[in-house]
Amino acid sequence: MNIVNFGQCPACRQGTLVAVKCIDNNQLLLMCDDCESQWPSPEAARTFTGSLQEECHNIIDAQIEDIVSTGWTIPVQG
């Protein structure tokens, strides 16, 4: 499993937030698979604050190890 699901997008309320990694700066992000809003952390997405003004366009799927090492809590999948 590569895609890690962080729940519903707070911006469009239709898409799913998935963990991705920006390969420009190696930063972990959440991105909506529908509207493509990007968030710097699960906390930012949950509180609907601080969506990225400058979105990263060079992204890859984040790996579980990346997420754990960044200190994010992975939600129960499913």
Q: Give the residue with the Cβ less far from Zn ion, 15 or 40.
A: 15
Query: Could you say whether residue 62 binds Zn ion (CB under 5 A)?
Result: no
Q: Is 36 left (phi over 0), alpha (psi -120 to 50) or beta?
A: left
Closest contact distance (angstroms) between CB of 76 and Zn ion is 21
Query: Could you say whether residue 32 binds Zn ion (CB under 5 A)?
Result: yes
Residue from 11, 18, 31, 62 binding Zn ion (CB under 5 A): 11
φ, ψ at 49 (rounded to 5°): -130, 150
Query: Could you say whether residue 12 binds Zn ion (CB under 5 A)?
Result: yes
> What is the Cα–Cα distance from 39 to 53, expressed in whole angstroms?
9
